[in-house]
Amino acid sequence: MRTWAVVALLLTPGPLAAQGVRFDGGLGVATGTYLFEERTTTWWVSGGLGLELGAFTLRGSIPLLFQNSTLIAGSGAGNVPTGGSSSGTVADSGRSRHGDGDGRGGTMAGDARPELSHGVVEVPASATTEYQSALGDPTVSLSWRTRAARSTTLGLGATVKAPVADTSTFGTGEWDVGFNAGVSHALGERLLLGVDLAYWRLGDLDDLELRDPVYGTASLGYLGAGGWGGTVLASGGTAVLDGYDAPFSLGAGVHRFRDGRSLSALATIGLTETAPDFTLGLLWGIRLAGW
């Protein structure tokens, strides 16, 4: 879901000194096997308000999640395959991939067994359940945008994720804090090239340490006549889980901006084991009041 914030920061047109209140809503789905044999599918709906004060925007939102396993936990940086109650198994498997565990997964002197690489993590069958609903972690963000040159816009932002969802549902039970910086540059009248960098300080689970990742997103957007547009993007970063690949995904979307209202649809395909295989989301926003 964090990709939505990137798209909004880099590609949303309009005045840089807006004043008013906006409502933002969204719904979507993410599905994948991640590190496991079992497939986890997450449906989400979210709602929030944004207060625009000149170049600054203060925004808060909260999601409601529907998920069929406890293997995936939401974090400020996106979905993380923590393994739920089997998070210790995920940690042990990661150490085995490095060959610095108890020797069961690594190549040791005199041991011709190959090092475990990209094998699935075995978890109890009870980890996969019927769909259950739970309130997700609310986030509050503050962003700032300014025009650095005629064709270039800069943005800075900070986000805090509060630990409402714990490890018994679909969360980590810890605070996360993120910082991001983005730049978008107009290539002619219709094309926008965007780059965003983000750093997240993630809270650790009791038996699974989460690395603090750095993520980058590059996007190319087209804004046509009548407020219609499109986006292609690539996103990736450093690994959150020790011993596992970093997430990387490719995506494309369509957008509609008109009279203070916005509508976007975005799909992504994950290319690594810690990214969801597929996501699809719809995001809309409307200005409720302006002054």
Residues 57-80: tens digit of each pLDDT: 999 999 999 999 999 999 999 999
pLDDT above 60: residue 14? no
Alpha carbon 93 to chain centroid, angstroms: 24
Mean pLDDT of the chain: 86
Instruction: Indicate whether 108 pLDDT > 90.
Output: no
When pLDDT is cut at 50, 70 and 90, the band that residue 123 belongs to is confident
Contacts of 143 (CB under 8 A, 6+ apart): 9, 56, 57, 59, 155, 156, 157, 158
Q: When comparing pLDDT for 256 and 168, which is higher?
A: 256
Q: With bands split at pLDDT 50, 70 and 90, how would you rate the model's confidence at 103? A: very low
Q: Which tens digit of pLDDT belongs to each residue from 192-241? A: 999 999 999 999 999 999 999 999 999 999 988 888 999 999 999 999 99
pLDDT band at 97 (very low <50, low <70, confident <90, very high): confident
Q: 10 Å Cβ neighbour count for 271?
A: 14
Q: What is the pLDDT of residue 3?
A: 58
What integer pLDDT is reported at residue 79 of this predicted model? 94
What counts of helices (H) and strands (E) characterise the chain?
A: 2, 15
Residue 105, pLDDT > 50, answer no
Do the beta carbons of residue 158 and residue 198 sit within 8 Å? no
1 or 38, higher pLDDT: 38
- The pLDDT assigned to 11 comes to 53
Compute the C-alpha angle 8/13/19, nearest 5°: 90
Q: What are phi and psi of 4, to 5 degrees?
A: -60, -40
Q: What single string gives the DSSP state of each residue in 246-285?
A: PPEEEEEEEEEEETTEEEEEEEEEE-STTS-SEEEEEEEE
Which helix (H) or strand (E) covers residue 194, if one does? strand 191-201
- Mean pLDDT of the region 254-268: 90
Q: Which among 34-48, 101-115, 125-139 has the top mean pLDDT? A: 34-48
pLDDT range class, residue 6, cuts 50, 70, 90: low
- pLDDT at residue 51, as a whole number: 95
pTM, entire model: 0.86
Q: What percent of the chain has pLDDT over 70?
A: 86
